[in-house]
Structure 1
Amino acid sequence: MWTTPKPNYRRGFCAEGEIAVNIGGVRVVLFGDVLNRYPESRLAELVKCPTQNHEVVSSLCDDFDPSRKEFYFDRDPDAFKCIIDVYYFDEIHIKNGICPICFIKEMEFWKIDKSVLDECCKSYLSEKEEELTEISNKVKVILEDMEVDQCFTRAQRCQRYLWRLMEKPGSSLAARVIAIASFLSILVSAVVMCVGTIPELQVTDSEGKLVEHPILEGIETVCMLWFTAEYLLRLASSPNKLNFAFSFMNVIDFMAIIPFYVVLSLTHLGTSSMMELGNVQQAVQALRIMRIARIFKLARHSSGLQTLTHALKRSLKELGLLLMYMSVGIFVFSALAYTMEQSHPETLFKSIPQSFWWAIITMTTVGYGDIYPKTTLGKCNAAVSFLCGVIAIALPIHPIINNFVVFYNKQKVLETAAKHEVELMELKSGREARRESRD
């Protein structure tokens, strides 16, 4: 059986049809017929190039010894050991300890297409490229914050300063105070919304109905005015108004503010003949429920909630499997429970859709007890559904938690890398400035 000759690391002169390359002090003897398998690569060009033409040789390598027919390259020898695998195995694996981004640059230098990378290495490379993109975006944001004084006009400097004041709590003491005030306003508004529903703290209006206490309404009005001013200032200072308006968190902010003003408008319109008072009151009650959207504003000031949101996005597959398992189980066990309980004269399972409620609270281990089986077979079915529910819920929990931990640690590493990159850029610019001053 014929086998492909391996690269030789011997010393001495090359035989006919061989070339010697010295990669960072490591000498390798390669066979020309093997290198010609990829004729457009740099090593194949070395085999074909005339050694008498120094211009062609110097364009392909860093140095050349004509007596030994040895080409010298100032490259990474560990990466080169992976590169030459493509000539023997038609694929390349990135070994541990080699930076994938630097390895791609090595492949470009040796003129090897990235399509020969193994699938596992391609996914690893794409992940590293995404991390570098995130780091560059973070560095860009940090540099934009540092270049406030370099804006062209006074209006641009004011806009950038206001944007940092409203969006970057760590940029200054004033920005930190505004962030704390916004956070406290959200908490106070949420507490007032909950406390206002306590009957003992409500007052009676002219029609004898219980309404929210005027003091609580005044506190809520102050909070809403703060939210409105904050939203308008952030919108005015935003570099891109369209992206700001359609951002998910900004849409939540808008949905938390607009019901307050709609309620005021409907209240005034309800006193006229244009609308019936009953319809106005129903609309006001529905809009008051939308005030719960303001609690989601906490996500703007909590990195933990933001990390949880991203982790859940990464866990959509696991969550989808959980919902699928639960849906199948609910349908099966509710149908079985309805069928088994029909023989009992006092059955609580009137229909299969009504049995869905029993299956949900049983499989999720809630068990209110408002609907329960009375036959022996029904109780056995309930026990099995309970055990299946515990298993179905427990299975995807570990991947979801793991995604959260991985994403949280990754964000910490990326933030540290971005800050380190900015520090290196500052040191480099300082050295260049000192060199120019010396010159």
Structure 2
Amino acid sequence: MWTVPRPKYRSGLNEEKLTVNIGGVKVVLYGDDLKRYPDSRLAELANCSTQNVELLSSLCDDFDPGRNEFYFDRDPDSFKCIIDVYYFDEIHIKTGICPICFIKEMEFWKIDQSVLDECCKSYLSEKEQELREIANKVKVILEDMDVDQCITRTQRCQRFLWKLMEKPGSSLPARIVAIASFLSILVSAVVMCVSTIPELQVTDAEGKLVEHPTLEAIETACMLWFTAEFLLRLASSPNKLRFVLSIMNIIDFMAIMPFYVVLSLTYLGTTSMMELVNVQQAVQALRIMRIARVFKLARHSSGLQTLTYALKRSLKELGLLLMYMGVGIFVFSALAYTMEQSHPETLFRSIPQSFWWAIITMTTVGYGDIYPKTTLGKCNAAVSFLCGVIAIALPIHPIINNFVVFYNKQKVLETAAKHEVELMELKSGRQARRKSDE
């Protein structure tokens, strides 16, 4: 039997005692303490008469009138945490107890969640977020499994096309499409780089160097593939608004549009648009925007997506790094400008010009285009790059730790989602067998 210790100032002999059996563990409680939370189940049990059998049956699982003992088929470890609220006005979730199951225990004992300590509330919210993520993953898996249950043929075709374009692991054709898209991105990036080599360029009628026709044909083929892929994904998307507002889809759109704008400026703008003075600069700027298609790789790489999410979780560390570097750049550039003014051949003409020197020094790049010539200036430079090394090294560990934690968490959530789907399939199979047996 486990008897809750009584405070010395409340050790009266005539106090009403309540014996409860929680999963085989006996606990002796005192009525005055339980009445501090009158809406709880134990307080109602303490106020209930033993003659009211119907009410007792609704409050506990069983009752022994001879021993005056109440039985509950509940978790005793969770109960040890819950009864703390009657003595300390707060509850802590002990290590090893599932927070979601603990909340269900609190609901059973009619204890409000507001009595949870702040640390436990944050832990609980984190677990609830994980459960929501698991539920979303389970929903996605179930949607992929229910293609044949669509009502109309159009819906089945739309779902099949969506899986083909967005779910590489769903089938062999979908994997082939993903590989083709990935190779198209790489080929397009290589063509963009190779087309800038002067030896591979040709001269047009005006005597200017332009892209080689072969490279331009490869670029056109890649852009046609990107366009068809984007339109098919848009047409098969179950939620068009979410698809349009997605960051990765916006990047895809921005990588495709410059190609068609350049075509419009080059071939369709011979009368009005080509009269613009800066039209060639506009065309060149739009061609440079083709580098945006490199970011399309993130849509096909879970590693890049995980890195992006990890960087989002490390915004605080990155902000501290930028703040520290900004302060250091301002201080050391001002000191360098002041110390170098005594030298007749100084390279530090102003403090804003010294910002560039401070940036390349603190980041240990050191181009050598601007450097100190006085002894004090060299000492200032030594201190600046030592501080830069420390500033860059300090947030590396938290950022890497966030990446590892997030990556492992995603793996665990994916495994949990698959396990949940397997359990659902097992339960549905059992229910089908029961119906067939009946």
TM superposition score normalised by structure 1: 0.96
Checking the alignment, whether the CA contact within 8 Å between 2:307 and 2:403 is kept in structure 1 is yes
Checking the alignment, whether the CA contact within 8 Å between 1:267 and 1:280 is kept in structure 2 is no
Cα separation, 1, equivalents of 2:139 and 2:128: 16
- SS of the residue aligned with 1:71? strand
Which residue number in structure 1 is paired with residue 207 of structure 2?
A: 208
After TM superposition, the structure 1 stretch with the greater mean CA deviation from structure 2, 266-275 or 225-234, is: 266-275
| Deviation digits for residues 359-400 of structure 1 (CA, Å, limit 9, x no counterpart) | 000000000000000001100100010111011111111000
Which residue number in structure 2 is paired with residue 407 of structure 1?
A: 406
Cα separation, 1, equivalents of 2:6 and 2:229: 68
Q: Which amino acid aligns with 1:321?
A: L
Cα separation, 1, equivalents of 2:260 and 2:186: 20
Q: How many residues align?
A: 431
- SS of the residue aligned with 1:275? helix
> Which structure 2 residues correspond to residues 316-327 of structure 1 after superposition, within 5 A?
316-327=315-326
Which residue number in structure 2 is paired with residue 190 of structure 1?
A: 189
- SS of the residue aligned with 1:348? coil
Q: Give how far 1:90 is off.
A: 1.2
Cα separation, 2, equivalents of 1:372 and 1:279: 39
Cα separation, 1, equivalents of 2:137 and 2:334: 54
Cα separation, 2, equivalents of 1:277 and 1:335: 45
Change in Cα spacing, 1:351 to 1:16, as seen in structure 2 (3 Å) is closer
Q: Give how far 1:271 is off.
A: 2.5
Which residue number in structure 1 is paired with residue 129 of structure 2?
A: 130
Q: Give how far 1:15 is off.
A: 7.5
- SS of the residue aligned with 2:91? coil
TM superposition score normalised by structure 2: 0.96
Which residue number in structure 2 is paired with residue 352 of structure 1?
A: 351
Checking the alignment, whether the CA contact within 8 Å between 2:60 and 2:70 is kept in structure 1 is yes
Which residue number in structure 2 is paired with residue 61 of structure 1?
A: 60
Which residue number in structure 1 is paired with residue 16 of structure 2?
A: 17
Checking the alignment, whether the CA contact within 8 Å between 1:270 and 1:277 is kept in structure 2 is no
Checking the alignment, whether the CA contact within 8 Å between 2:18 and 2:28 is kept in structure 1 is yes
Cα separation, 2, equivalents of 1:337 and 1:97: 57
Which residue number in structure 1 is paired with residue 419 of structure 2?
A: 420
Checking the alignment, whether the CA contact within 8 Å between 2:81 and 2:91 is kept in structure 1 is yes
Checking the alignment, whether the CA contact within 8 Å between 1:26 and 1:77 is kept in structure 2 is yes
Gaps of 5+ in 1: 9-13
Which residue number in structure 2 is paired with residue 95 of structure 1?
A: 94
Which residue number in structure 1 is paired with residue 394 of structure 2?
A: 395
| Deviation digits for residues 18-76 of structure 1 (CA, Å, limit 9, x no counterpart) | 11101011111101011111111111111101110111111101111112111110000
Q: Give how far 1:96 is off.
A: 1.2
Checking the alignment, whether the CA contact within 8 Å between 2:15 and 2:30 is kept in structure 1 is no
Q: Which amino acid aligns with 2:58?
A: S
Q: Which amino acid aligns with 1:194?
A: C
> Which structure 2 residues correspond to residues 42-191 of structure 1 after superposition, within 5 A?
42-191=41-190
Cα separation, 2, equivalents of 1:42 and 1:118: 21
After TM superposition, the structure 1 stretch with the greater mean CA deviation from structure 2, 30-39 or 317-326, is: 30-39
Q: Give how far 1:143 is off.
A: 0.2
Percent of paired sites with the same residue: 86
Checking the alignment, whether the CA contact within 8 Å between 1:7 and 1:28 is kept in structure 2 is no
Q: Give how far 1:172 is off.
A: 0.6
- SS of the residue aligned with 1:360? helix
Could you list the runs of 4 or more consecutive aligned residues of structure 1 that deviate by over 6 angstroms after TM superposition? Answer: none
Checking the alignment, whether the CA contact within 8 Å between 1:271 and 1:277 is kept in structure 2 is no
Q: Give how far 1:17 is off.
A: 0.4
Which residue number in structure 2 is paired with residue 293 of structure 1?
A: 292
Q: Which amino acid aligns with 1:161?
A: F
Gaps of 5+ in 2: 8-12
Cα separation, 2, equivalents of 1:361 and 1:311: 27
Q: Which amino acid aligns with 1:57?
A: L
Q: Give how far 1:122 is off.
A: 1.0
Q: Give how far 1:106 is off.
A: 0.2
Cα separation, 2, equivalents of 1:318 and 1:231: 36
Which residue number in structure 2 is paired with residue 244 of structure 1?
A: 243
